[in-house]
Structure 1
Amino acid sequence: MHLAEHNPGRWPATDGVQTSIPPDRKIDGVAEVTFQSALTPLKGRKQTKLAHADEINVFRRTLLYAGPPNSSRWYDVAGPGETVGARTLIYLRRRDGVGAGELRKFVNQQLVPALADTAALKELRTQTFLPWSEKLWDTPNVAHDNPHDQRFHASLVLGFSDSAARDAFFTSNAIEGLTNQLAPHASAIHAYDVAAALTFVKNGDILPRYQE
């Protein structure tokens, strides 16, 4: 996903929660990969080696967040024939005292139903992460600094029919209820507008360039 160049933070200002995205930690894009099994990454070692060597040509800092099996979930929230015309990517940082299992349970059992109940979404995807480790993606000559207080623990992808629907969602009454549920669990909610979501590989097949 390519994130919009101007991304100060979509989520409304909330007491005790960081919703403004710090310019020096702003994310420009995300390569999201879902594997069929835990052994699938072993089949792509040749491609991974090429990516390791090439990152210095395009990136200043890269971070890898990985999730355990079944931690990436796609929900069927669109009606027949409905398509996604605009997206928001949200990263959550859990509050001190909130455990990984507690956050995962909250996202899956409380936050997802609340988001679905807004009836505003045409796409809903969630991920919860394993503890971050630089060793998972220690590419040469590229920064991987990720201080403990800057790490994230879950992400959401929200899809809307168009940018107007996205704007309406973030100014609606529903956002206050969602914030009230999130605030006890999250110390940061960083919501990015997505400029483009490009699919390059689907079901193991390399797609024509720039095909969604």
Structure 2
Amino acid sequence: MSTSPPAAQLDVKRHFTSSILLWMRTDQPRQTGMDHWKGPHSGIISATPGLEEYRQIYLRKHNPGRWPVTDGVETSIPVDRKIDGVAEVAFRSALSPLQGRKQTQLAYQDEINVFRRTLLYAGPPKSSRWYDVAAPGEEVGARALVYLRRRDGVGAGEFRKFVKKQLGPALASTGMLRELRTQTFLPWIEQLWNTPNVAHDNPGDQHFHASLILGFTGTASRDAFFASSVIEELSNQLAPLASSIHAYDVAAALTYVRNGDILPRCEE
């Protein structure tokens, strides 16, 4: 792989992050749900005390699976489990989720207006890593969101160590990314986000164990990345550890809270 700039010289910040995977209701137009999520629902979440950042990640409607075919690995995204969007929330501290219980209850009540299924994945404090891979003034023009499922027989600790110590630094070293965030998950527990009137079905063989957010200068550089030898090398490293690699094209990523402050208007 290219090593410009070297990962060892990059600034890496550690965060306490949760991701809520979202599926829009199918009894109304998809855009109706997206508009409600972007509007009224975002206001509920943004007002939650203790947030460091709140971002809504909109996934393209057509997402068959961006990761190239890899022997023994599911890279095609099943239609019935294809995600519509993700709420990415970074907390100021481990106690922040307790501060936001009132707003969380309001979010619970509003979910039925937008979503048919929601699944929360969380990692321990400071387990999410954000790599400073962009030069000053460089902006992200396109993104991909990748979910990884651990292969049976691979230990959770081994998998998390690989993502943190090998996969993240390898991606940062390619010189092809303008944003890189990695997150490893604790075992999924429904009770952490058991909202009423919304499905939370998540069979054991469908659980995810890590995610990657990859940012590029534009769609051309995103296409080039997924067609490059970098992906072939990463696939060879991942195949013994991951049974599924689901890579989504991101349509937009809107930030509502940054550095603990609610923004006057969302920013992409």
Displacement of 1:110 in angstroms is: 1.0
Which has the larger strand fraction? 2
1:63 is paired with a residue whose SS is strand
Aligned to 2:266: 210
Measured in 1, the distance between the counterparts of 2:103 and 2:254 equals 19
Displacement of 1:53 in angstroms is: 0.4
Measured in 2, the distance between the counterparts of 1:83 and 1:59 equals 31
Q: Does 1:46 align with 2:113?
A: no
Q: Deviations over 1:77-128 (max 9, x none)?
A: 1122211110000000000111111111101111112212221001110000
Which aligned runs of 4 or more in structure 1 are off by greater than 6 angstroms?
none
TM-score by structure 2 length?
0.78
**Structure 2 counterpart of 1:97, which letter?**
G
Measured in 1, the distance between the counterparts of 2:132 and 2:259 equals 19
Give the conservation status (yes or no) of the 8 Å contact 1:34–1:72.
no
**Identity %, equivalent residues:** 77
Q: Deviations over 1:130-175 (max 9, x none)?
A: 1001100000010000000000000000000001000000001111
Give the conservation status (yes or no) of the 8 Å contact 2:182–2:213.
yes
**Structure 2 counterpart of 1:22, which letter?**
P
Displacement of 1:210 in angstroms is: 2.5
TM-score by structure 1 length?
0.98
Measured in 2, the distance between the counterparts of 1:144 and 1:133 equals 10
Q: Considering only aligned residues, what root-mean-square deviation do their CA atoms show, in Å?
A: 0.9
Gaps of 5+ in 2: 1-56
Map 1:56-75; keep pairs closer than 5 Å.
56-75=112-131
Q: Does 1:83 align with 2:128?
A: no
Gaps of 5+ in 1: none
Aligned to 1:128: 184
Measured in 2, the distance between the counterparts of 1:79 and 1:204 equals 23
Measured in 2, the distance between the counterparts of 1:83 and 1:182 equals 29
Between Structure 1 and Structure 2, how many residues are aligned?
Answer: 212
Measured in 1, the distance between the counterparts of 2:177 and 2:91 equals 25
Displacement of 1:203 in angstroms is: 2.3
Give the conservation status (yes or no) of the 8 Å contact 2:139–2:217.
yes
Map 1:88-99; keep pairs closer than 5 Å.
88-99=144-155
- The partner residue of 2:227 within 171, 175, 198 is 171
Map 1:30-45; keep pairs closer than 5 Å.
30-45=86-101
